[in-house]
Structures are given as structure tokens and as C-alpha cells.
Structure 1
């Protein structure tokens, strides 16, 4: 796993000690990479001790991994919380110490990563030259920023920026509070990177600067050092810690295959109708005997006789019975796709990368759909620029978007659906909706799971969290 992960921490320009800690290592005899950033809270020595205790507890729990990954990550935080609470009770000087942490496990073989998070350290996903914030800051200012009520620049300068609501060492019954720890998982595709960092980085430099360093040239190690240097050049007011993990597999490229010409394929038929074909058939058969020919003649004459008698009887019956009305055949007219939905389906099928931007200068809104738009990409972000509304055709009350199970990650941003029986159908996908609205849709989202038949299944289906607001979330 050379050049797949690296971590580094720095005291910064204005602090005397470093209360941060990190983990960046491969699990023994495994294809997992453990990445963690811990930021201590509580004074000169307390925060440093809390971060060290948390790091020690996490590594000890992951020495012998067992059970499902996300519950194991939660267990790491619970054990760390217990250690810190015990230290606070035994040492008076440390009674106000705590720490915040973000822990991730990258499964390189299955192209997935899993995470647990408490506080205001951060987890980002880097994909297709974009930086996506995965974790949520558990602070009042973080809530304002995540909900779009504060811009990134305003949040960085807010006087209460570092006041947190949650941390390891705050809660005595952490294992009983299922909402305290933020957890999740996401596809980790070839070419992706995840960044874990303390607020000493994100308080100093913005997302654009971070992205430019990460996506620039150089090794993982050089990029980590570049982030540290940039934070220090901007002032270095706090300890700075970063961990980068990269899935350095080669991204798969699917090239379109041209159909082969029909002349190169053998034509399989069961009936030969032309005279030429009949001649070829006879040349391949063995000669027939005279006796067989006489029998064939007798059979043919008998058939003509029966046909003549049947015709006579049918004509007689038609003269004696009233004519029955002829039933009109049912004509089924296939609905023809309009130009807009043809263009949209082609845009989805021919998308290079993962981000599809729908501009109302290109797609006239509403986009009328007569059939479902089928999406088979590995991951996709569909984002509207302007007002984009998908509306059901009068003859189509079915589905707007159908995401196949092969589509692992889906993000729909700032689009609307109107008049569909089922707006979105997804199965075994990671689905994220941002500023999506539904008008008169019977079922806005239909989500399912594929489960192997006749097997013993063990699974925990986590509750889905919805956030509704009268105003859209502003993009950062």
C-alpha cells in the first residue's frame, strides 16, 4: 500500500504544545487502512492527555477487529470516552479535559470507507476535482455553516467558532446515547481520497485552497506537508493535523463497443421460403425413393379433397346464419420520447466523470418525462443550475428516475419532481438529497435492499434523518 496513506501533525505558530494526535496505518494482516484525527480540549496538559488516551483506546480495540465495522467504530469511541472519564475523576488537574475525533476505516478491496465522528474535526471526500464535506461540525457555528446560514469565510471568523457541543469526555453514558456519535459509510472509488483534519487546518485555509493542494502534483506525503505549510503561512493559530488516504487503483473506463456487421454473423432460420433456398435444401437432402413419392401424392390429393368439402360447408353456413360483426383490432400506440428526455438520457449514458449539471439554459423547464430515466453509473451527482423541474407526462404517472443497484453513490441537488406516482427508485445505493422538492408525488422516494434468498441475514437498518426547511441550503 505504498503512497496510499500518510498522516502528520504540527504544533503551529502560536501554541507551545501539541494537543492533537492521529492514526495512519494499515491494519495487521488486513486490507484495511485506519485513519484518525484527534484534537484535545482542556488546557495545557489536559487536552494532550485526552488525545493520547483516545488514540491508545482506539488502537487497542482495533487490534482484534470483530463484528460489523460501524458498531466497532462506535465501540472505539465508547472505550476512549470511558478512559478519559476515569482520568478526569482521578486527576483534578484534568477535570475539564476532553477531545474531539474523526475515525475512518478504508476497505480498499471492497472500495468502501466507514467513519465515526464526534466534535469539529472533519472528514472530506475528494472525487473528480471536488471536495465534499462528509462529517458535520457538532457546534452551533458548525450547524449554521452546514445549513447554509453562514458562509465558510464568515464561519472561519466567528468568535464562537471553537465552542463545541459534543466531545469524548463530555457524556457519561455514551454507549446508551445512539445519537451522540455521527456514523456512516460511502463508496471509496478508484482515484478517490479521504482527508481527515483538525480545525487548525480548516480555520486557517478554505476549501478551495485545500482542494488545490490535494489535487496538485506530488505524493501523499508532500500533499500533507503542503496543507500544514499553508495553515502555518495563514497564521498557524492552532495545532494542525491532517491524514490523507487514497484509493490508487486505476479508475475503470468503459468504452462503447461498435455493433458487428450482420454479414459477419451466421443467420439462423427455421423456415426457407424462397425458391433459391428450396433448391439449396433439396441439394443437401438424400434422394427420395419412388414409393415415398407415391405416398406423398396420395396425401396431397386427400388434403385437397378435405379442403374442398370444408369450403363448401362454410359457404352454406354463411348463407343460413346472419353475419357477425368483425371485432376491431386493438391498436396500442407507443409513447414517443420527447427531445428533452432523449437528450437527458443520452447525457446520463455518455457522462464522463460523475457530475452532471443540468442548466435551465439547455434544458427547458419543466422537463416532461414519458418514461423513467435509467441510471447505471457507478456514482453520479445530478445538480441543477437554475430552475429544473421534472414533470410527469399525462400518460405517465410512473417513475422519474430509476437508479440501478450497480449505482453505488447518488447525489441529487436543487431539482424538483412533479406529478409522479414514484419520483425516485433506488436499491442498495447511498442516496443523498440536497434542496430537492416533491410536488404531488405519491411516493417521493422508494428505497429497497437486495437480500440473498434462503440465507441467514444479519443487518442493522439505521433510521433516515430528514431535514426540511423553507429556504434552500446555500452551496459553499
Structure 2
């Protein structure tokens, strides 16, 4: 069985913030360092055997440090993916841990070189190997799985527990100085199921919408593009207090390609 991945994504500054500190990686597409998000909803499709990676980043830090952290992480992910994507076939967990270390080093290096004491970014990432899907996250940007009308959070919120005023401090993120603690990304393996979908989003979505509201949208029969559009509209209508970034991937089954044709496609794309 082959699996097609139809994905849609957006990044919006929101209704309160003047700048955008979020970023994303969608099969090679990303935002420049300084940006005001994207116009509308972007979409595409790919197959699981092409080993795609989708990710959302939510930068942290004042005076443009957040967008610099997110951009440094995205650049590092792109470089690491191009050099190591073949390892997604046989060693997907090693790929993910290596990618996290590489991204963390990039953010920490930028912080040291520019003498910035406080900067970092969350990361929520979905990678596709030939046999399974892997969800990986650091921080509080979330990954949800939706299947047969049920929504399940499969990422881990890396935050300090307990009740407190304001946002709870993060216990894990990119830009983590490892001389203090160890970088420990959450990694979850999920088998392929046609009809399942995955939502990656920054807290600009989850601070505005409840899980029930997200589930209600994903229960619809529309395209990935239509569902992302509806989620964005609802998040903005609830106040849009933060930057809003999300990627939705819908999985469908399809007939396996002729092996020779599949090999030719891989060869032509260098994969």
C-alpha cells in the first residue's frame, strides 16, 4: 500500500502582535527571517515513500530574537534533512534526535555569537518513513492525531506543571543550553492508517481554540486547505492574541506504483 499525504498550512501574525515570530518547514518551503506570515492558505501533496517532513516553530524572545531563533532552527533542519534524509528509511529515530541536536546547536550558536541571553523556539515535527509516521516535539507547540472522529494529542507539553499566572515556563525547547540540562525531545511512532490526519500548530491556535473546537473542524469532510482556513478564521475570531501557525496533513491510501516507475521517480528527484 502506498499513502498519499495532502497537506495545507498557514502562518498569520494574528490580530494583536506587530511581528511574526513563527516559522514552518513544509517539504522544503519556509519563511524568511523577517516576515508577516503568508497570504491565505498554502497546500500541496506528496507520497510517504518520498520521506517528507513537516514542522512548525514558535520563536521566543524580545527584540526580534524569537524570529531569529525560529529561522535558525528552520535553516538547520533544511540542511540536516538534505544531508541525512535517507536515514529516515532505516533509522528514523536517529534522524530525529540528530535533527534536534543540530537545530539546537544552531540556535545556541546564534545566541552565543550575538550575546543574547534569552532566545529559543518550540518545535513540532512530523516525519514520514516507509513503515511508520513519527511525531517529534520540544516545547508546547502541539501535534494532534485525528482518526474516526476522535482527536488525540500525541505531542508532549514540555512545561512546568502547576497553576501559575501567565504562560508556564518551558522545560524543553530549541536553544536549550545543554550544560544545564539534557535536550530530550518527545518522539512517538504511529502506524499508517488511511483516513487519519495530523495537525501541527503553535499555541496561537491552542490558546484560542479548545480540543473540542479543533475536533469539530477536523470532523468535517472538506479538504485540508478548507479545514486550515476554518481553524484560522476561528482562532482569529476568538481574539488572535498570538501568531497563528499550523500544518494539517491528511493521509489516504492508494495503489502502489509500478516498482520501475517508482524507482525512476526517486532517481529523478535524487531520493
Q: Would the TM-score normalized by the shorter structure come out above 0.5?
A: yes
Unaligned runs of 5+ in 2: 28-44, 255-271
- 1:415-430 maps to which residues of 2 (within 5 A)? none
Aligned partner of 2:103 among 80, 90, 97 = 80
**If the length of structure 1 is used for normalisation, what is the TM-score?**
0.46
Secondary structure of 1:230's aligned partner: helix
Task: State the Cα deviation string for residues 244-274 of structure 1 (Å, max 9, x = none).
Answer: 1111127xxxxxxxxxxxxxxxxxxxxxxxx
2:208 to 180, 204, 215: 204
Structure 1 residue 103: deviation in Å? 1.2
Query: Offset of 1:159 from its aligned partner?
Result: 2.5
Q: Which residue of 2 aligns with 1:13?
A: 15
Partner of 2:171: 165
Alpha-carbon distance between aligned partners in 1 of 2:196 and 2:10, rounded to the nearest angstrom? 20
* 2:258 aligned residue: none
> How many angstroms apart in 2 are the aligned matches of 1:173 and 1:236?
36
Q: Deviations over 1:87-116 (max 9, x none)?
A: 111113x33111110111124x53x21122
- Kindly state the Cα deviation for residue 33 of structure 1 after the two structures are TM-superposed: 2.5
d(CA) in 2 for partners of 1:159, 1:233: 24
Match of 1:222 in 2: 226
CA contact (8 A) 1:73 1:115 kept: no
Query: Cα RMSD over matched residues?
Result: 2.5
**How big is each residue's C-alpha offset from its partner over 1:249-301, in whole Å with a ceiling of 9 and x where there is no partner?**
27xxxxxxxxxxxxxxxxxxxxxxxxxxxxxxxxxxxxxxxxxxxxxxxxxxx
2:47 counterpart of 1:45: no
For the residues of structure 1 that align with 2:5 and 2:135, how far apart are their CA atoms? 21
Give the structure 2 partner of residue 104 of structure 1: 126
**Count of residue correspondences:** 232
Aligned partners of 2:111, 2:48: CA distance in 1, in Å? 36
Distance in 2 (CA, whole Å) between partners of 1:10 and 1:245 is 18
Q: Distance in 2 between matches of 1:113 and 1:19?
A: 27
**Matches of 1:29 and 1:198 in 2, distance apart?**
24
How far apart are 1:161 and its partner, in Å? Answer: 2.9
Q: Which residue matches 1:120?
A: 140
Name the CA distance, whole Å, in 2 between partners of 1:237 and 1:131: 24
Give structure 1 stretches of 5+ with no counterpart. 145-154, 251-476
CA deviations on 1:189-210 (whole Å, 9 max, x unpaired) are 0100011111111111101110
Alpha carbons 1:120, 1:136 under 8 Å: kept = yes
- Deviations along 1:7-60, whole A, 9 cap, x unmatched? 211111110111111122278994223110111011130000000010111111
Distance across 2 between alignment mates of 1:242 and 1:29: 20
Matches within 5 A, 1:409-420: none
Aligned position for 1:131 = 151
Larger radius of gyration: 1
Q: TM-score, normalised by structure 2?
A: 0.78
